[in-house]
Amino acid sequence: MNIVEGKLQVQVGKKIAIINGRFNHIITDRLVEGAEDAYVRHGGNTEDLDLILVPGAFEIPLALEKALASGKYEAVCCLGAVIRGATPHFDYISAEATKGVASVALKYGKPVGFGVLTVDTIEQAIERAGSKAGNKGAEAMITVIEMLNLYTEIDV
């Protein structure tokens, strides 16, 4: 059996963007750090890495659409943190961010990482932003690197 899978090695010269929501930036800044660290430790050159900042997770899908439409990026890593509050706002923002990112990724057929936390408490967010549950920004970037290599291999 032939196994086809992407390597965890950044391809030099292929530009990647991180899109990060500033809302809950105490958390999302840590996700960006994790993503950048993962990128560098897998052979990336930070000159090929752009950070696009948006106000919150709701703005991520359209920024993603524009980033991919520009043709500048081979892949995008989306980061943010949606934390449940006392109202249904959380459900609307997290649903729009998730659906929007998925549909833009399918439209462009390029690797898109989803490192947007959707959590009930700030403690759960802290756990996933560089403490006991790891760093979801780093995980999302590693996924982007793997999928970019996989698509390079299987695309015609």
* Region binding ligand INI by CB under 6 A among candidate stretches 7-15, 31-39, 56-64, 137-145: 56-64
Residue 112 sits at φ, ψ, to 5 deg, of -130, 125
Any contact of residue 114 with ligand INI (CB under 6 A)?
no
What phi-psi label fits residue 33: left (phi over 0), alpha (psi between -120 and 50 degrees) or beta? Answer: alpha
- The minimum distance between CB 21 and ligand INI, in angstroms, equals 4
List the interface residues with ligand INI, window 93-112 (CB under 6 A). Answer: 93
Concerning whether 42 is annotated as a catalytic residue, the answer is no
Any contact of residue 137 with ligand INI (CB under 6 A)?
no
By CB under 6 A, name the binding residues for ligand INI. Answer: 21, 23-24, 55-59, 80-83, 85, 89-90, 93
Q: Supply the residues annotated as catalytic.
A: 89
